[in-house]
Every structure is written in structure tokens, then in C-alpha cells.
Structure 1
Amino acid sequence: MKAPLLTCFLLLMCSAATAAPPKAFTQAQCVGLKTAHVDAASIGLPTRGAVITAVAMAGQPNEPHCKLEGQIKPVDLKAPNIEFQLYLPLLWNGKALQLGGSGFDGAIKGADTARLAPAATPGALKQGYATFGSDSGHQGGVSDASFTLNDEAWENFAGAQIKKTHDVAIALIQQAYGRKPSRMYFQGNSQGGHEALAAIQRFPLDYDGAIAIHPVYNVVELHMAGIRIGQAVYNTPGAWISPAKSALIANAVMGACDKLDGLSDGIVANVKACDATFTLAHLRCKNGKDDGAGCLSDKQMSLVKMLSKPVSLGVTLPTGDRFAPWPILQGADAASIVSVFGSGADKPNPEASNLIISFPYMMGDQAVRYEVMRSPDYDSLTFDPATHQARLQELASQVDNNDADIRAFVQHGGKLLMMHGTADMAVPPGNTVAYYDRLKTQFGEKTLRQFARFYLAPGFTHYSGPFRLSWDSLGTLDKWVDHGIDPGQQVMIDTNKATAGREMPLCDYPLFPKYKGQGDTRVASSFECVTQ
């Protein structure tokens, strides 16, 4: 055999060996995993091992998979278990996807499906991914922080559960298929986005790629901003902004800013031009006194101005002393504005499980009462952050993940996708902008683009909004990691019922999508990503 042909043959053989499929996995083997367990020695952080509590075959005929439910046992016998789920497709593609939670976690959130994926994109399981997630080490509502009174439960939520869940899942995947995944990804939204950044900062060699959507990487800072909002709303008579006035604000901003991106479509895409165009003073009531739903009093104007600029925390944390401004004057819809101000002016019931009270305040209240004061009966409307700086800094050092030095992850070959909605009133987009800017300072823009991309999605709130985004982030990440295909121009697809299927470019920050002036307004190619 001639040398070139021999070289080619050997390369093909090596490639074939590398891509060799895992051993067959059957329904019988799925059922056999009921007795599987993972020893504590196989888990990188202290536990008492993990056991399987339930096994079942699930899925449609074209998506058969094995569903495992299990528990990771804590060291502290009084601490809750980490409840986890692992989904194993019978036709495995050799890769795995770990999925994050939301809020204070407390439940296993969609451990079988990628976040915000388009309806036309096959699900992660159908693509052959093994998927898994956990409740982060406690059960409860996403707005319930009472679990933090237990130190191990807090430690798990603060990041340890990411590693523990990962290691257990990898061990079980190896038992099922005979080998570990060739690629390991993490994807999450909100607290799950925070967990994605925590994963690559704290456990960089465990992951080949991560998708961080609306990441709350500085959660203590967010909660202190929530306390400031709650105190401004509920401690100042007349400051509360009603749902009717929230609609007034949203409609006024939309009227002034909708067309600034070249198209009147109910979406504010050119946020920078909106900042320069919209004038809040036009909404002021005559003489500054509350004259009803058609205007804002001076107290209400002050509240809006407070949120529209960096919010002073009243304390210096490792991540700073101010939190990013809320996009109340940048295209947020009425419903998301109401979620910040609440639907009533009265002093709230801190245990309320709905949006009658301000959502940012409700989350901050939980953090203050359980994490800081460790007293369920404490009134957080009287809380002075400055007098508890040491405790707040301690908590931030444990749970926040704002480190831009992710060289270990990058040198391992890791890729990062970040995305944030421009109208997100739960976690302001400026917060993710700040972290991306830190990455740019750390690596330089040219180097950064070799492993990271950041997108701003116009009209998208935390989960809904005028443009309810879907985006094949998992497919984009996998092509980049596994095949070296640069993300290129991304496309987002609306899932709102009235506008379902319309497209728009998902532009690299700081670009935004501008209508070209001609072409189908529902097709992404009719837009271009520009700076102005």
C-alpha cells in the first residue's frame, strides 16, 4: 500500500475508533439499573453516596428512553437529600447535558429537555443526549429559602450540588453504556444560568461547553437590590405603581421607541436610541400629585428613576455596591413591570407565593430572613444592609460566581454561549452585560470571541414578553465544540400565539436587529445586525 493511501487508511481507522458507538442499551438493562448505586468515593465532594429510587421506560416510540430517579445522600443526617433525575436514551449519541433550575430551586425542573428550544428542533433526548438535573439539595418552592437554615443544604445550593449531581450522573451513564460521555454540556436559565457559570468557574474540567441564559451569577447583589425596591415601594406611601400605571409606562415607551429599529412591531430593539428618545417627564401628573391612572406622581416618578439607573445596594459586596438598572423604560411589557411593583400597595405578606407582592422584593425578603438574619419572623422592610456587611460578604463569597478568569475551562477547549432578554424585569440585562465586559477585560475581545458569544434578545423578558424567544442554543454549542463550526448569525423564533413563527436575528452584543426597509417582516433575512 502506498504511503499516502496507508496514511489515509490509518487516519480513517483512528477516526472510526474514536467515533465507535457505545454498547447497545436495552429496556431490560434499563430495568436492571434499579439496583444501581454510586459509592461516595466516586463523587468529588463529600456525600454518603447515591441510590436509585425509581426506574421506568418512557417516551414515544421514536424517542424511547430510560428514566432514573435517585437520591444523593448528605453527610449531615439532618440535611435533605439531593433528588435527581437522569434520562438515558436507548439510542445514545455519546453526549450528556446537565440542566439547571430556577429561583431557589427546590424541584427538578425539566431534566429531560433543553431550555427554550424551537418546536421544530428535535428534543435533546430524541437527538440522543443523556440529560439530567437535580433539585439542588432541597424540596420547596422557587421563592422559598427556608432550606438555607441547614448548612449543608445551603452549601449544595451554593454550588456543591452541581458537582455532586454531575459525578453521580457520569457514574450511572458509564454503568449504562459502558463509557463516559465524549461531550459534557451545561445549560440553564435564571438561577440555572447562574449554575452554568458556576459549573465552568468551579469545575472547569468537567464541561466542554455551557449555555448561560439570564444568569443570576451575583444573586446576593440581586437580592439586596430587591430589598431596596421593596423598601422604596412599601415604606413610602404613594410610591406604589399600579397595574394601570404600569401599562401606561409600557405603552408610552412603546409609542416612542417601537419604530426606532425601522419597524413598528411591538418590540423595542434599538434600546440605545430609546434611552435618548423617551422622556419620562411627559408622564408626570400636574403639580406632581397623583391624579389617577393617566399619569405618575412625583413619588412614582422617583421610583421609576430609581430603577432606571444602577440601584444603590447600601452595602459593598465582592461584586460591587450597585445593581444593574431595570429596563422599565426600554421596552418591558406591562405584565413584567407589574411583577416588580406588585399588584397592591399594602405591606406584603412575606410568605405569599404569587406576584401580589414585588417579585424582586419577595426573593430578597427570603434571603434576608433566612440567609442573613436566620429568623423567619424578621421584617426585611427594616433591614439595613450596611450593618450586616460582613455576613452579606460571606454569603456572596459562597454563592456568587462573577470570576472572569475562566482560563482552565478555555484551555480545556470549553465554549460559552450567553443570552439575555432586553426586556427582562426579573434579572436586568445589564447584569449579564457587566459579566461579559469583565470577560472582555480579562481576555481581550479578539481572544474572547474564540470561545464565547453573548446575545441580547429584543422584546424577550425572563420567560415571555412581546417576543417570546426560542433558539437552538444546544445545536449551536455542539457544532462549535464538536465540529469547530463558528456560531455565525443566530436566529430567534417567536413562540407567542399571535405571532408564532416570526423570526429575527439574535445579534451579537452590542448589535441589535434593524429592519432593512423591505422584505417579509417575519423572516430574519429582512433584518441586519447594526450598532445604530
Structure 2
Amino acid sequence: MKVRFYTLYFVLFFANVVQASPAVLTQAQCVALKNTRIEAARIGLPTRGAVVANVAMAGHPGNLHCKIEGQIKPIDLKAPDINFQLYLPLSWNGKALQLGGSGFDGAVKDADTARLAPAATPGALKQGYATFGSDSGHQGGVSDASFTLNEEAWDNFAGAQIKKTHDVAVALITQAYGKKPSRLYYQGNSQGGHEALAAIQRFPLDYDGAIAIHPVYNVVELHMAGIRIGQAIYNTPGAWISPAKAALIANAVTGACDKLDGLADGVVANPDACSATFKIAHLRCPQGKDTGANCLSDTQISLVEMLNNPVPLGINLPSGDHFAPWPILRGADASALVSVFGSGADKPKPEASNIIISFPYMMGDQAVRYEVMRDADYDSLTFDPGAHQTRLKELASQVDNDDANIRAFVQHGGKLLMMHGTADVAVPPGNTVAYYEKLRAEFGEKELRQFARFYLAPGFTHSSGTFRASWDSLGTLDKWVDHGIPPGQQVMIDVNKATAGREMPLCDYPLYPKYNGQGDIRSASSFVCTDK
């Protein structure tokens, strides 16, 4: 009996040693991957296979890796390739990280490290992850939707490219190291966050975990809200809010709300209390007429109030007939507000303009002209969503991820982390709150906590803000998935130059970080997460 026991012990011991030992890739093995072809049969959705075009050693001593570039070939010969990049560390930890894009994609976006990682945290490659991403199946700017005129390019963007890129990367990883990844995670911000949710909903068995930052689960609804915002700004004389007035609003909100979290530090960390405290009427011009940069007219106040409330879409879509409020009066800084209102009052031209136009409108304009009307010259400022309900619902069914039933992913053991900045004016945080509430309704609070966490980051916009957050989300996810360690108190670190290094708790929704009245204001330990 003892002999059998010790035999079993040594078998398990050496198995664990083998599993823990990193796989090694040599420079010669890296170069040998050039011109590799992945047959279509190895890709789970229709393609004409994939080819490796370029292979080279990249990085620097101590962090050298094999960089692979290639194309996934479409069925339609007129459709663009899916360009992908795969980074293979010379010492592999057995895991892989797929990274999402931004906007309408169109380029491979930094497929070498985790999004928003703190400077002190080793990059994903240095940790031993194989990392990869794609341009989603077309080439162009993040604000260019002209590719959607091709059906296969649209289908790729709407989600198919996630699976195709995954399968090609796994095939190449397997060829390089001799085995498949033991864990595979998806991480993305904005459109990449949307892709993270799409990955676990549509291809649940491919992923062990996902990180969705600022996710757009309902792209069509977001773009319809952008159209309504653009129409309200550019079709209404006197509605446009200048950069000077945007600064007026931002400074007034900060002045009234900064201390509501117990600390005057430039960050509105308690936006709910701010909504109850600050009143836009305090900025009203005499008699409601525009008299300059130091006040708002009644027409401008009406625009702000429209944004501060659920925005009417003019149509009933899968997620409803309104979109989440924009955090105009909840701590967004002046530059973020300018991105909503634009830098000029003139009606924008269909393409490039000499002014910075409203970002939500710009994205909605692209969607209407190319996805809905399929006419590059169409004036989206005249668009009536109700007259195109059938087409909009068709698009939503193809690209949106409205269904909160992700049980296949959960039963597979998958874990989900979501984060959203409270001052994000590109994708309002209330939209992710709405999705999280869908998950809560689907699973119940107790079960939901077994596989999901959602954090709101005060002062963080879509990519900057008064608190420009960094967060080791990959480390948190991996500990949960691979070691069964649920997320403890999360900490975000500011990367703004003037305040770099200060910390604040990243609190579970719906809590916010409140300064406890003593201790280092730059240390997360001096704050408590509370709803009081």
C-alpha cells in the first residue's frame, strides 16, 4: 500500500513540476514559423485559411519575444483580410491573452501587453503570456465605418473576427510550444470591452476569463444616442456649448462636489451625491439669454439636461428606447466635455472638418451613413430612427450583446471583471451599470459574485481624466481563475503626470471611495469603500 502511495505521490509531484516549468522557444524556432499556413479546417468559422507573413525577434534583452504578423483570408475575395499579430515569449507560462481594439477598429492595437496596466507591473509578455490581437478584418481609422459596406467585413467586425483570430493564434501557439494554452483570457477597453463581452457570450468555451473595460454592449443604441446628441447640438440654434463654457461647467461641478467624498483632491468620487447637490440652473444667464462665456442660456441648459438624463433614441431597440445619461454633471473634466460638444458650432461636413465635432455624434454619423443608409453622402442630421426600425434592429441583432445569459461561460469556470470610469463621456458608465444589473437579474447577487466583479473608477474618463487609472486587472483575473483566489480590495493608481502614483480604492459597484479623514491622501489605505 505504501509503495502505491509513494508511486502516486511522485507521479503527481513530477507532473506538477512539468506543468510549472515554462515552455521555451528559441530564436531559430521563431524564424522557422515564417510562411506557416493555417488551414481553413482549423478555424471555427468560414475562411480561406491564414498565412504568416512576417516573423522577427522583437523587444530587448530580458524581454525578447517572437513577433508574428499574418492575415486571415476571407471567403469573399473583395473583403479585406483580417490582419493579426501574435507575440510569443521565449519563456512561456502556458497562458494566452487576446486583446481587443477601439472605435471601429481598423488596426492592430498594441497586441503586446494588458490594457491600463500599472507601470510597476511587468508587462504580459514579460510575465510569460502569449498575446495576440487583430484589426477585426479591415484597415482604416477608428472613426471610419466605410468598411461595413462589405458584408463579410461587417460580419467580422460584429464578432466573427474574435473567433477566427482566436483559432489561428491557438494553432500557432500550439505549433510553437507543442501544446495549447492552459488558460486563455480576453481583455479590451471600449470597443475592445464590447469584444470581451461578445467573446464570452458567443464563444464561451474558448475563454477562461474576460476583462471588459468601458464596454459597449449595445453599439447600435450608443450610435443612435450619438445621432440624437448631434442633432440637438447642430440642428438647434444657440445650443452649442463652447470650450470656455465647457470649462465653466466642469469647474462649477468640481467646486460643488469635490469634497463630497471627504477630500478636496480634484476628483469627484461620489457622483451620486454630486447629482443631488449640483444644479445647472446656478449657471443660468440673466433672462436665459446667452451673454457670454460666464453663463449658460436656456437653450444650452436644455442640452445639458438632455444629456444628464436618459437620452431618447427615437426608436425601441433591444435594450430599450433610451440610452444611459452622459456624466456631464458628475465629474467629467473640461476636455472631456469638449469632446461631447465639439469645438465649433458649425454643422460638420460628412467627412473631415476643420473643427473637432462631437465624438458621440461622429461615431453615430458613421454608423448611419454606412451601416444603415449605405450612402456616404447622406446627411445624418436629418436621420429619423423610427423610419429605419427594421434595419436598426437587424444591425443590433448582429453586433450587440444584450443577452445576459452567459451560463455556458460560467459553467465552463469563466470569470468576468468589468470596470468603468465615472467620468467617461465616450461611453457613459450608466450603460455598463445597466448591463451589470441585467447580469444580477439573470443570476441573482449570490451566484453573480461567484464569477463577476464590477468596479467604478472615480474621475476616470475613457482614457484620461482627473484620475487617470491604471489597474492590474490581468493579475487579479489570473489569481481568481488559476488559483481560486477571489478579488480582494482592488487599487487603482493615477498615471497623470502631476499626480502620478497616488492611489485610490477601486470599489465594487455601487460603492465609492471615501477619505477616512486621516492618513496619507495618496494611499488607498486612507479610504474606505462605502455607499454612505
TM-score normalised to structure 2 length:
0.98
Q: Distance in 2 between matches of 1:443 and 1:2?
A: 48
1:362-511 equivalences under 5 Å are 362-511=362-511
CA deviations 1:130-172 (Å, max 9, x no partner) are 0000000000000000000000000000000000000000000
CA RMSD of aligned residues (A): 1.2
1:74-85 equivalences under 5 Å are 74-85=74-85
1:353: how far off? 7.1
The aligned amino acid for 2:79 is: A
**1:93 pairs with 2:101:** no
Aligned to 1:156: 156
TM-score normalised to structure 1 length:
0.98
1:526: how far off? 0.3
Aligned to 1:257: 257
1:486: how far off? 1.1
Mapped contact 1:37–1:52 kept (Cα < 8 A): yes
Q: Distance in 2 between matches of 1:463 and 1:385?
A: 30
1:2: how far off? 6.4
The aligned amino acid for 1:150 is: N
1:6: how far off? 5.5
1:272: how far off? 1.2
Q: Distance in 1 between matches of 2:516 and 2:350?
A: 49
Q: Distance in 2 between matches of 1:82 and 1:353?
A: 30
Aligned to 2:270: 270
SS of the equivalent of 1:132 reads strand
1:259-298 equivalences under 5 Å are 259-298=259-298
Name the count of aligned residue pairs: 531
**1:334 pairs with 2:331:** no
Aligned to 1:346: 346
The aligned amino acid for 2:67 is: K
CA deviations 1:242-269 (Å, max 9, x no partner) are 0000000000000000000000000001
The aligned amino acid for 2:142 is: V
Aligned to 1:236: 236
Mapped contact 2:344–2:355 kept (Cα < 8 A): no
Q: Distance in 2 between matches of 1:149 and 1:74?
A: 15
1:7-156 equivalences under 5 Å are 8-19=9-20, 21-22=22-23, 24-156=24-156
The aligned amino acid for 1:82 is: I
Q: Distance in 2 between matches of 1:104 and 1:28?
A: 37
Aligned to 1:208: 208
1:351: how far off? 1.1
Q: Distance in 1 between matches of 2:363 and 2:274?
A: 30
1:505-520 equivalences under 5 Å are 505-520=505-520
Mapped contact 2:205–2:409 kept (Cα < 8 A): yes
SS of the equivalent of 2:505 reads strand
Q: Which runs of 5+ in 2 are unaligned?
A: none
Q: Distance in 2 between matches of 1:384 and 1:2?
A: 79
Q: Distance in 2 between matches of 1:354 and 1:170?
A: 45
Mapped contact 1:143–1:353 kept (Cα < 8 A): no
1:9: how far off? 3.9
Q: Distance in 2 between matches of 1:340 and 1:21?
A: 48
- CA distance change for structure 1 residues 42 and 209 in 2, over 3 Å: closer, same or farther? same
Mapped contact 2:232–2:239 kept (Cα < 8 A): yes
Q: Distance in 2 between matches of 1:34 and 1:374?
A: 39
Q: Distance in 2 between matches of 1:270 and 1:304?
A: 20
Q: Distance in 1 between matches of 2:274 and 2:6?
A: 63
Q: Distance in 1 between matches of 2:126 and 2:355?
A: 36
CA deviations 1:409-449 (Å, max 9, x no partner) are 00000000000000000000000000000000111111101
1:19: how far off? 3.7
Report which stretch shifted further, 375-384 or 10-19: 10-19
Aligned-residue identity in percent = 80
1:37: how far off? 1.1
SS of the equivalent of 2:313 reads strand
SS of the equivalent of 1:327 reads coil
Q: Distance in 2 between matches of 1:269 and 1:397?
A: 36
Q: Distance in 1 between matches of 2:116 and 2:233?
A: 33
The aligned amino acid for 2:175 is: Q
SS of the equivalent of 2:92 reads coil
Mapped contact 1:339–1:355 kept (Cα < 8 A): no
CA deviations 1:445-484 (Å, max 9, x no partner) are 1110110000000000000000000000001100110001
Q: Distance in 1 between matches of 2:237 and 2:150?
A: 37
The aligned amino acid for 1:44 is: G
1:12: how far off? 2.3
The aligned amino acid for 1:489 is: Q
SS of the equivalent of 2:33 reads helix
Q: Distance in 1 between matches of 2:262 and 2:7?
A: 59
Mapped contact 1:271–1:330 kept (Cα < 8 A): yes
CA deviations 1:157-190 (Å, max 9, x no partner) are 0000000000000000011000100000000000
Mapped contact 1:30–1:55 kept (Cα < 8 A): yes
Q: Distance in 2 between matches of 1:71 and 1:353?
A: 33
Report which stretch shifted further, 6-15 or 62-71: 6-15
Q: Distance in 2 between matches of 1:244 and 1:349?
A: 23
CA deviations 1:7-36 (Å, max 9, x no partner) are 5444424433544543x3100011110021
Mapped contact 1:350–1:362 kept (Cα < 8 A): no
